[in-house]
Amino acid sequence: MFDSLTTPRRVVVTGMGIASPLGVGVAHVWQRMLAGESGIGPIRLFDAKDLPAQIAGEVPTGPKAEGKLDFAEWIPVKDQKKMDRFIMLAMVAATEAVEDSGWTPESEEDRARTGVMIGSGIGGLPAISENAQLVASGKARRLSPFFIPSALINLASGHVSIKYGFKGPNHAVVTACATGVHALGDAARLIALGDAEVMVAGGTEAAICDIGMAGFCAARALSTGFNDRPTEGSRPWDAGRDGFVMGEGAGVLVLEEYEHAKKRGAKIYAEVLGYGMSGDAYHITAPAEGHDGAYRAMKAALKDAGVTPEQIQYVNAHGTSTPLGDDLELEAVERMFGDAGKQLAMSSTKSAIGHLLGAAGAVEGIFSVLALRDQVAPPTLNLHEPSRQSIIDRVALEAQPRKIEVALSNSFGFGGTNASILFRKAP
Amino acid sequence: MSDTAEKVKKIVVEHLGVEEAKVTDTASFIDDLGADSLDTVELVMAFEEAFGVEIPDDAAEKITTVKDAIDYIEAQKAA
């Protein structure tokens, strides 16, 4: 069945697109990230005054030319009502990524060899909330025929495929906050195994709505102590952290078989070097003791790539700013790297944009690739006083120029699902 | 053009994202204005909302052109 495993194919990144609380567009977002800016602010998407958590990372509204978001510049009005917000964000990021890659296949054969795998943690929660309220108020007949297809998670992949005519594998990952990494890793595997030459892969999320925020508040997962100082709310590893800050956005990467990319003269950002997964088999929301699942996911990724900890210089941590998770991940990374931890830079970019749930792993994959390209570790904002000392440099407050050959990115999700992915500098 | 006709055409333009000039009386939603079956369901709902009428499914199925919609709504309003 897996004959192609005997002749593994290399996979590279040839395009990237992003919509995030720091704005729209890879160059703009990265420049702000390195400058130490924050995308967190008071919630504007709905009235959150009755909730204990009133801050979030929303994609800023405004013209594309200013690195902001105006859906009218990206999606025809007629199509917008067929998409809940998470799909529209995916369309924005996918459009940038596909244009960046220069891959616009015209032939039927090329189209059939190009697939899409954009996942989401939750999908169309705002649409579900709005339509449930219509039903509850006796207006069941007023539901739009587009409600269901606007809320289904795989419709992000569906809409991207329809827009570009990509007729290859069409798939969608749903693994809570590990979605983004799983999507990139699984899509890379599809290319390596020969199912496709090109995959448009990533994650998207837009759950900053009444029931989304109320639900995470009920799970006691969100920061509630920084409503008056939003930009300080996301503070991974800092002793004052009190939960994650909700973010929204989408990250999409164009992954491509190496020879295919070379042949068409594509710009190559980085190589997808390895991918590892694990399950905790422990608890629905809490990580296991010592975050053993994180350790095993990283270990599997290193084994897949055939690299040792000494060859890795940067880790983009899951680091959500929750009291329990951050130090457990740190513990797992220390166990994985041992003495090699001394030369490691590890940061949590969630400090600037919050936790993008199913999009997190994809936008952090982009940040990892950019760290390799520009030889710089992005900062961990608000890290003034670590709750746990470590030999690992967590890039507190300011970006650091670093020599980086290989970067690791972690994502872990509710249910006890863990994924790690490794990128190497462009071959 | 009657008030009803004007309003119907405005709704069609907004919902289907088509040019006003294309929305003639005889234009078919699916064949001429690029709608699919879900678009027509939504369009009928928009007519119901805008004119305060109820259009049962069997009647909605027969509304395939701009004129069909105008005639049906005017008949309802007269009744």
Q: Is B52 on the interface with A (CB under 8 A)?
A: no
CA-based nearest residue in chain B for residue A142: B45
Identify the three-state secondary structure at position A320: coil
Specify whether the CB–CB gap between A31 and A104 falls below 8 A.
no
Closest residue in chain A to residue B55, using alpha carbons only: A141
Residue among A329, A303, A306 nearest A316 (CA): A329
Assess whether A209 carries a catalytic annotation: no
* A177 part of the active site: yes
Yes or no, beta carbons of A144 and B42 under 8 Å apart: yes
**Pairwise CA distance, residues A359 & A379, whole Å:** 19
Residue A323: φ, ψ to 5° = -55, -40
Q: What is the complex's ipTM, to 2 decimals?
A: 0.85
CATH code: domain B3-78 is 1.10.1200.10
pLDDT tens for each residue of chain A, 427 residues long = 555 555 679 999 999 999 999 999 999 999 999 999 999 999 999 999 999 999 999 999 999 999 999 999 999 988 999 999 999 999 999 999 999 999 999 999 999 999 999 999 999 999 999 999 999 999 998 999 999 999 999 999 999 999 999 999 999 999 999 999 999 999 999 999 999 999 999 999 999 999 999 999 999 999 999 999 999 999 999 999 999 999 999 999 999 999 999 999 999 999 999 999 999 999 999 998 889 999 999 999 999 999 999 999 999 999 999 999 999 999 999 999 999 999 999 999 999 999 999 999 999 999 999 999 999 999 999 999 999 999 999 999 999 999 999 999 999 999 999 999 999 999 8
Alpha-carbon gap, residue A183 to A201, rounded angstroms: 6
**Whole-model pTM?**
0.96
Q: Which of residues 2-41 of B touch A (CB under 8 A)?
A: 15-17, 38, 41
Region of A343 please: left (phi>0), alpha (psi -120 to 50) or beta. alpha
How is chain B split into domains, by residue range? Answer: 3-78
